[in-house]
Structure 1
Amino acid sequence: MPQVFTFGRYLLYFWTGEDAEPIHIHVTVKRPEKNATKFWLLSDGGCRLAHNASDIPPKDLNKLAKAITLNHQRICNAWSETFGPENLHFID
């Protein structure tokens, strides 16, 4: 479970073995959980909420989306280092 960064009380990370999926990041409070919130990264540098399984409040989701967008390249670099550059693809 590679941790990418923290944002306040939130942990942003990848699950290993998900390299067949488009690039995304999981978010939970403090520690990884099976039912984590998930954001897809977009090719234009933004992100899209896939689901909010960990019930993060909407105000925090908005802040997290901004943090993910600001760290888009950092997340892509971490994904590439973790899963290989051949697995760096985005949803449309």
Structure 2
Amino acid sequence: MPTILRLGAYRFYFYSHEPNEPPHVHVDRDEASLKAWLDPVMLARNRGFRPREINAILAMVEEHRSMMLEAWHEYFG
């Protein structure tokens, strides 16, 4: 599970066994987790985050989208 970014309490990463899915990132904080697509940025699934926090996380993903896409393509080729 390569971690590509940490912002505050959030860990942004992807699983190394998901190369056949479109680019996306997983985000964890404590026991909460979500998956966000990167192109375009949108929520794929959520487990434990409240709507306001989801919006804040998606804004962080949007802000760092280029770097996340670059990390995805570097890792998966």
TM-score, length-normalised on structure 2? 0.89
Q: Residue in 2 aligned with 1:88?
A: none
Q: Residue in 1 aligned with 2:44?
A: 50
CA distance in 2, matches of 1:37, 1:59: 13
Shift of 1:81: 1.2
Unaligned runs of 5+ in 1: 85-92
Amino acid at match of 1:69: E
Number of equivalences:
77
Q: Residue in 1 aligned with 2:59?
A: 66
Unaligned runs of 5+ in 2: none
Shift of 1:65: 0.6
1:79 paired to 2:72 = yes
Greater percentage in strand: 2
Amino acid at match of 1:47: V
Q: Residue in 2 aligned with 1:37?
A: 34
Shift of 1:7: 2.0
For the pair shown, the structure with the greater C-alpha radius of gyration is 1
Using CA pairs under 8 Å that are at least 6 residues apart, name the structure with larger relative contact order, 1 or 2: 1
Q: Percent identity between the aligned chains? A: 34
Q: Which runs of 4+ in 1 moved over 3 A?
A: none
Shift of 1:59: 1.6
| Preserved CA contact (<8 Å) 1:7 1:64 | no
